[in-house]
């Protein structure tokens, strides 16, 4: 009897392992660089410019490949088709909507109580929905924000009038404009660049840009005790926490001001008083502070990079400026203020914005995703807890997808009549600057509205020229300053009022 049981057990085991082995060997093995034992590919790239290495590897290994750092598995997605398969088709869309565990998510965003660094659960879904609705339709909808943006653009125009023809670094003006619109969105008021809140927001943004990079995160996640040592980065992390508290204190103070102007803050504070079906507070003080941090960080550097890049690119293209000015004169005229309704008739301006976003690809690796369970992408098996790297830099600069990808050519988004290609056109669909699917950017409409109104106002009133007595470098995406969001290097230009250039 024992022999009989042993015999059949052996047969069953053999069959089981043969089937497993056959399944495993029939799986396609993901290509990718081998790396070193334990550390993986850690020493094969500069941590702040990982996107350059991934671009190089994608040429060798294809649209999907894997690599390891400290035994953690990363899968890089390098074409718009593979990204769609991973992010927009179920069940992958749900599986890949998780975020990896990060030091920043845990320590800076109070154990993932924000939106951007947290993985989905029912509370997160409610938080994201709330934030999305507030940004998209705050007050009377975008028209309320539009009114405020236009008000600020009047002071920008005034400033430009004073600067007429002088060499100027436009970053101060652009930063003030963006921070003002964020203050209006969040708290309904702004005291301008000398106001305490704007100074605090600016400081917070630059601290986060200097610290929240994947390289620093890998090291601090592995050795979290480093945050207690007097290292430069650890001190910056401490400073972030202090500055965040200062931001909250200021917002609380400002929210008590006797004014009718309200912002996201006021609504969210009301939501904090609500209870869910179990009688529990579903939106806590930590959720509030970290949502505000998300908006301040995601809403500043991304838009700063886009507007400053656009100004530099235009300064080098007088022909393009002329065409933009003709479009704006035709649609808006010289006297009426540009408004959001003009967007649909300003085809070239829209193409310039889209091409700027593609060309600079300044959020090169989007935000990292992770798999919440094992799945298959592109025919390859991907394990649970794999970090997914949406390689937007490569998708936007691949020769397979673009003609002359490192050239700034807004006309690639226009048809033969000069009309903007529809958003479902395959060429438009390859631009994924705001991500897509369950984790796509919640600030896209807000960001694009600000950028369009800025561009239209500038082109209506001025021509951007190279500086006097100095040269202006071409904006080359590969030479942008690294950070959470790549930024153009400092530069100077001249704004010259069009009225001064018109023949008398
Ligand atoms: C040019 C401007 C902007 C660009 C290029 C941009 C790009 C992105 C990208 C690539 C992502 C990650 C998508 C993903 O994980 O798959 C993202 C997420 C996010 N963005 Fe933006 N963004 C911009 C402006 C803004 C603004 C103005 C706000 C808010 C005021 C904002 C708030 C957010 C938030 C909260 C997330 C996280 C969403 C989530 O994790 O579910 N962004 N953005």
Inform me whether the pLDDT recorded for 5 exceeds 60. no
Residue in 129, 298, 436 to alter for ligand 1 test, most ligand atoms within 8 A of Cβ: 298
What's the pLDDT at 280? Answer: 86
Give the pLDDT score at 211: 87
CA atoms within 13 A on the CB side of 169: 7
DSSP annotation string for 262-303: --HHHHHHHHTT-B-TTS-BSS-HHHHHHHHHHHHHHHHHHH
- 18-30 pLDDT, tens digit per residue, is 555 555 545 679 9
* Distance (Å) from CA 59 to ligand 1 centroid: 27
Q: Which atom of ligand 1 is nearest to the CA of 433?
A: 5
CA of 437, closest atom in ligand 1: 16
Taking only the tens place, the pLDDT of each residue in 123-149 is 999 999 999 988 876 544 556 778 888
Residues 6+ apart with CB under 8 A from 338: 150, 328, 332, 452, 453, 456, 457, 460
Tell the residue nearest (CA) to atom 11 of ligand 1. 441
Domains of the chain: 30-274+282-501 (1.10.630.10)
CA of 178 to the centre of ligand 1 (A): 15
Tens digit of each residue's pLDDT (9 = 90 or more) over 66-105:
999 888 899 999 999 999 999 999 999 999 999 999 999 9
Q: Per this entry, what is the length of the chain?
A: 504
Establish how many alpha carbons lie within 13 A of residue 499's alpha carbon, considering only the half-sphere containing its beta carbon. 6
State pLDDT tens for residues 364-403.
999 999 999 999 999 999 999 999 999 999 999 999 999 9
68-73-76 Cα angle (round to 5): 85
* Helix then strand then coil, % of the chain, to nearest 5: 55, 10, 35
- At 502 the pLDDT is 61
- The pLDDT assigned to 26 comes to 53
* Mean pLDDT, the chain, whole residue set: 90
Q: Relative to the CA of 362, which ligand 1 atom is closest?
A: 5
Tell me the mean pLDDT in the region 51-67.
97
- What separation in Å is there between the alpha carbon of 15 and the centre of ligand 1? 50
Centre of ligand 1 to C-alpha 166, Å, is 35
Conformation bin of residue 301: beta by default, left when phi > 0, alpha when psi is -120 to 50: alpha
pLDDT of residue 137: 66
> Ligand 1 pocket by C-beta < 6 Å: which residues?
115-116, 128, 135, 294-295, 298-299, 302-303, 306, 363, 366-367, 390, 433-435, 439-443, 446-447
Q: Evaluate if residue 487 carries a pLDDT over 50.
A: yes
Q: What's the gap in Å between 297 CA and the centre of ligand 1?
A: 9
Q: What's the per-residue H, E or C state across 54-85?
A: HHHHHHHHCCEEEEEECCEEEEEECCHHHHHH
């Amino acid at each position: 009897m024992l022999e009989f049981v042993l015999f059949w057990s052996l047969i069953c085991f053999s069959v089981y392992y043969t089937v497993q082995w056959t399944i495993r060997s029939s799986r396609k093995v993901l290509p990718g660089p081998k790396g070193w034992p334990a550390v993986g590919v850690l020493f094969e790239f500069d941590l702040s410019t990982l996107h350059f290495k991934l671009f190089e590897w994608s040429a060798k290994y294809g649209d999907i490949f894997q690599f390891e750092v400290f035994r953690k598995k990363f899968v890089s997605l390098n074409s718009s088709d593979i990204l769609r398969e991973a992010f927009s088709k179920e069940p992958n869309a749900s599986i890949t909507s998780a975020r990896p565990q990060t030091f920043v998510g845990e320590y800076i965003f109070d154990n993932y109580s924000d939106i951007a660094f947290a993985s989905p659960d029912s509370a997160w879904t409610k938080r994201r929905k709330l934030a999305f609705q507030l940004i998209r339709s705050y007050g009377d909808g975008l028209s309320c924000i539009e009114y405020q943006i236009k008000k600020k653009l009047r002071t920008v125009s005034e400033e430009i009038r004073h600067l007429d023809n002088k060499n100027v670094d436009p970053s101060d003006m652009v930063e003030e404009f963006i921070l003002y619109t964020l203050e209006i969105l969040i708290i309904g008021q702004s005291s301008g660049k000398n106001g305490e809140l704007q100074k605090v927001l600016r400081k917070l943004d630059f601290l986060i840009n200097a610290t929240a990079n994947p390289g620093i995160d890998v090291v601090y996640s592995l050795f979290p005790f480093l945050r207690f040592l007097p290292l430069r980065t650890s001190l910056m992390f401490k400073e972030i926490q202090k500055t965040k508290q200062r931001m909250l204190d200021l917002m609380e103070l400002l929210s008590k001001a006797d004014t009718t102007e309200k912002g996201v803050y006021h609504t969210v504070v009301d939501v904090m008083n609500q209870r869910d079906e179990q009688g529990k507070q579903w939106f806590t003080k930590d959720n509030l502070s970290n949502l505000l941090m998300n908006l301040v960080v995601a809403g500043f550097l991304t838009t700063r990079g886009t507007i400053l890049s656009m100004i530099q690119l235009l300064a080098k293209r007088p022909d393009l400026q002329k065409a933009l000015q003709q479009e704006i004169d035709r649609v808006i005229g010289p006297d009426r203020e540009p408004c959001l309704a003009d967007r649909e008739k300003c085809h070239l301006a829209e193409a310039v914005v889209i091409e700027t976003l593609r060309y600079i690809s300044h959020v090169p690796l989007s935000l990292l995703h992770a798999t919440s369970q094992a799945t298959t992408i592109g025919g390859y098996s991907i394990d649970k807890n794999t970090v997914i790297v949406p390689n937007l830099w490569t998708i936007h600069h691949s020769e397979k997808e673009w003609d002359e990808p490192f050239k700034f050519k807004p006309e690639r988004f226009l048809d033969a009549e000069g009309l903007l290609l529809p958003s479902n056109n395959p060429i438009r669909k390859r631009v994924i600057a705001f991500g897509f699917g369950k984790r796509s950017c919640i600030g896209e409409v807000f960001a694009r509205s600000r950028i369009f109104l800025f561009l239209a106002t500038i082109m209506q009133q001025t021509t951007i020229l190279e500086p006097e007595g100095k040269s202006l470098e071409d904006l080359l995406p590969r030479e942008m300053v690294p950070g959470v969001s790549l930024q153009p290097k400092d530069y100077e230009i001249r704004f010259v009022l069009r009225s001064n250039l018109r023949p008398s």
